[in-house]
Amino acid sequence: MTSRPVVYETTHRIAFSELDPFQHVSTGNYARYFTDHRMEGLAKYAGWDLPTLGTLGFMTWIRRMEIDFIRPVNADQEITITSFVREFRGPDAMIECTMTDAAGTTVATCLMVVAHVDARTRRATDWPAEHAALFFEPED
């Protein structure tokens, strides 16, 4: 039996400064939304806020982001982002992210690969079991 992943959820209202000349969210903001979403989720769900992250003895590094742009996002629109760790592969956490509009329609998806990096050696290391466990619901 596999454990259910903890699903992070955040919302954001699109501001004027985040738009391109066509009144859609500019491309670079999607990466920022997904990254900020994960950081907000780490603080809320795992207790890893910025001050705490500096004391843990490891760092996380976004190794790769693959973003699929499905529908345009417009000014003053509210979006919801959900994400979860799908699996761990050695030093990499494979994180699936979905951005939806207020009607629940998917507007973008992202696969984020986040590496666990030893703070002392600055080298990628496998995710320790106790850290990986924080991303899954406790088994009964």
Q: What is the pLDDT of residues 33-89, one digit of tens each?
A: 999 999 999 999 999 998 998 899 999 999 999 999 999 999 999 999 999 999 999
CATH code of the domain in which 124 resides = 3.10.129.10
* Encoded amino acid at 18, one letter: E
- Please report which confidence band the pLDDT of residue 1 belongs to, taking 50, 70 and 90 as the band edges: very low
Mean pLDDT of 5-33: 94
Mean pLDDT of 5-17: 96
Q: What is the pLDDT of residues 92-104, one digit of tens each?
A: 999 999 999 999 9
pTM given for the model:
0.92
- Our count of domains for the chain comes to 1
CB atoms within 10 A of CB 106: 12
Whether the predicted pLDDT of 109 surpasses 90: yes
pLDDT over 90, % of the chain: 91
Calculate the alpha carbon distances from 6 to 25, 62, 130, 140 in Å. Answer: 28, 19, 15, 15
Give the residue among 2, 126, 118, 113 at the shortest CA–CA distance from 58: 118
